[in-house]
């Protein structure tokens, strides 16, 4: 399990509000250097950035709402900011500020501020609302809430995104300050290297951990699928004591519910949505407070850490989409799947390089000050999800199909 929760009191970390440091970072392309070295992103392409420039020039409070498939996503928005000519504020999970002083400082200097995902962080919410109300800078928010490593699909969106946008729209309306708009942004990565050369060492390592001989005789699609089914069967054996039957989707759902269901019952935390990320957030909000504030017996602390590990596994499982490869076995989907295997087994992903990223801005969604309470789904959230899904579906067709 990656360290994304911490047993220490949360302290809100505000953004750096000056322009000198972000201007320096842009001028010397420091985010580009980091992306090349640490993420393998070697080139980029901007599309429809004029739509964003029009919103900024009009004085709107602007929220940028991209999909979130890779850890490199926040920095790729730096290319867009440099081209259009703005600095931004960005909500960043608190755990990112606990990965060393340099990372914490860099995030702040680029306009990042912390959001505590294991509780209600009113300071972060108010900071985000104020950023949109004053229209000082665009605000970057990832509505999926966490990285998915499924670039061509949009996962469930967190409702806090539209709450922030609507609250800011109300404040702007009262002061006569103008509109608040949301720009959906599609971020799409294309791998331009040799796929088999890139993934063979990863698959070989995983196969040897499974005590298999390297399955190099198989077509790459079959090899990746075989490893995936083996990893699912191992987890079923661990939690059910036997391999389950049924469709892959049903097996994944059953395993997720096996992980989360007993915890939701213990912590009196009934699932309000079938989406996994909100269920995970609700459980962490129940489990974490006493770990931070109280001196629990070591046995109880260990028990809760085991529960947090199960919660983390459920969230990772939710990112596996059974039809993702079969529907469109592109080079990029195959690479993403192997990267997810490696990340879930080792908490790390090796850098393959040769990534080209496209940042495609969609037209602005104007934020109404009121929500239609008769609607079962927030219309603004639905519009944002539909726009992102359409954008990614179109971009996905630019990925070449893999051919052995």
Domain ranges of the chain: 20-192+353-396, 196-346
Closest by CA position to 271, among listed 237, 313, 304, 311: 311
Instruction: Return the pLDDT at 177.
Output: 78
Instruction: Return the pLDDT at 21.
Output: 95
What is d(CA 213, CA 216) in angstroms, rounded to the nearest whole number?
9
CB atoms within 10 A of CB 150: 20
End-to-end CA distance of the chain: give it in Å, rounded.
34
Instruction: Return the pLDDT at 1.
Output: 64
Instruction: Return the pLDDT at 299.
Output: 95
Residues of the chain predicted below pLDDT 70: 1
Taking only the tens place, the pLDDT of each residue in 314-356 is: 999 999 999 999 999 999 999 999 999 999 999 999 999 999 9
> Would you identify the CATH topology of the domain 20-192+353-396?
Glycerol-3-phosphate (1)-acyltransferase (3.40.1130)
The alpha carbon of residue 60 and the mean position of all alpha carbons in its chain are separated, in whole angstroms, by 26
What is d(CA 267, CA 275) in angstroms, rounded to the nearest whole number?
18
Cβ neighbours of residue 198 under 8 Å, at least 6 residues apart?
Answer: 191, 335, 352, 354
Taking only the tens place, the pLDDT of each residue in 85-104 is: 999 999 999 888 988 888 88
Provide the sign of the torsion angle of the four alpha carbons 75, 157, 311, 210, taken in this order: negative
What is d(CA 110, CA 140) in angstroms, rounded to the nearest whole number?
11
């Amino acid at each position: 399990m990656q360290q994304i929760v911490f047993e220490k009191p949360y302290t809100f970390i505000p953004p750096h509000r000056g322009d000198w440091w972000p201007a320096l970072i842009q001028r010397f392309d420091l985010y580009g250097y980091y992306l090349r070295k640490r993420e393998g992103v070697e080139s980029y392409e901007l599309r429809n950035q004029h739509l964003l420039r029009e919103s900024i020039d009009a004085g709107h409070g602007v929220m940028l709402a991209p999909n979130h498939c890779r850890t490199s996503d926040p920095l790729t928005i730096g290319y867009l900011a440099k081209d259009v000519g703005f600095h931004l504020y960005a909500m960043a999970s608190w755990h990112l500020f606990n990965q060393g002083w340099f990372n914490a400082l860099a995030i702040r200097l680029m306009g990042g501020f912390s959001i505590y995902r294991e509780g209600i962080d009113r300071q972060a919410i108010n900071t985000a609302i104020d950023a949109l109300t004053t229209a000082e800078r665009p605000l970057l928010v990832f509505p999926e809430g966490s990285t998915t490593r499924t670039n061509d699909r949009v996962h469930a969106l967190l409702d806090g995104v539209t709450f922030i946008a609507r609250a800011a729209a109300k404040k702007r309306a009262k002061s006569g300050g103008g509109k608040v708009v949301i720009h959906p942004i599609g971020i799409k990565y294309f791998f331009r290297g040799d796929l088999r050369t890139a993934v063979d060492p990863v698959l070989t390592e995983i196969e040897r951990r499974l005590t298999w001989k390297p399955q190099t005789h198989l077509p790459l699609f079959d090899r990746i699928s075989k490893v995936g089914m083996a990893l699912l069967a191992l987890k079923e054996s661990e939690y059910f004591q036997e391999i389950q039957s049924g469709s892959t989707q049903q097996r994944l759902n059953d395993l997720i519910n096996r992980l989360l269901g007993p915890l939701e019952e213990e912590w009196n935390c009934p699932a309000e949505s079938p989406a996994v990320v909100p269920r995970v957030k609700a459980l962490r909000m129940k489990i974490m407070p006493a770990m931070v504030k109280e001196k629990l017996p070591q046995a109880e602390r260990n028990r809760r850490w085991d529960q947090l590990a199960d919660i983390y596994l459920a969230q990772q499982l939710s990112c596996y989409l059974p039809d993702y490869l079969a529907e469109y076995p592109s080079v990029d989907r195959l690479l993403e799947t192997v990267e997810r295997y490696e990340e879930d087994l080792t908490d790390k992903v090796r850098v393959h390089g040769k990534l080209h990223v496209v940042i495609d801005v969609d037209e602005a969604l104007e934020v109404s000050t009121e929500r239609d309470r008769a609607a079962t789904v927030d219309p603004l959230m639905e519009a944002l999800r539909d726009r992102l899904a359409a954008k990614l579906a179109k971009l996905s067709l630019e990925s070449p199909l893999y051919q052995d």
